[in-house]
């Protein structure tokens, strides 16, 4: 069963000059074999304008896979960045709670 490596997650506002600020969330999942893919997706129901709720979407390999513990990167972007102060990532009954780095 895949699991989230909580210490790898971060959320920040990308304020690159000449572009509209965007929220970026990244992290890593550990999988039991190679060949997995995944991403972070916005939850259909949001409960607070300050807290963005995300879910993991992980896909098992469809063909042969190396039976070796592997890691895959997870990524989410939202434009415009919004007024989020926190992000919560849900995965199989667990969660990762992040504070959004809003440093200019």
The pTM of this model reads: 0.93
Q: What is the pLDDT of residues 57-89, one digit of tens each?
A: 999 999 999 999 999 999 999 999 889 999 999
Stated as kind and residue range, the H or E segment containing 22 is strand 22-31
Instruction: Give residue 96's Cα distance to chain centre.
Output: 9
- Is residue 103 predicted with pLDDT exceeding 90? no
- Is residue 100 predicted with pLDDT exceeding 90? yes
Q: How far apart are CA 30 and CA 53, in angstroms?
A: 21
Q: What angle do CA 46, 51, 56 make, to 5 degrees?
A: 70
Give the pLDDT confidence score for residue 49 in this predicted structure.
93
- For the chain, the distance separating the N- and C-terminal CA atoms, rounded to the nearest angstrom, is 38
Q: What is the pLDDT of residues 1-35, one digit of tens each?
A: 899 999 999 999 998 899 899 999 999 999 999 99
Structure tokens at 53: 């709720």
């Amino acid at each position: 069963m895949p699991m989230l490596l909580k210490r790898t997650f971060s959320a920040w506002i990308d304020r690159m000059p000449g572009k509209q600020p965007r929220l970026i969330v990244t992290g890593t999942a550990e999988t039991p074999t190679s060949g997995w893919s995944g991403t972070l997706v916005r939850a259909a129901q949001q409960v607070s304008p300050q807290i963005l709720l995300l879910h993991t979407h992980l896909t098992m390999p469809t063909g042969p896979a190396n039976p070796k513990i592997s890691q895959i990167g997870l990524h989410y972007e939202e434009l415009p960045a919004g007024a989020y102060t926190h992000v919560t990532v849900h995965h199989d009954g667990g969660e990762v709670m992040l504070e959004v780095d809003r440093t200019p």
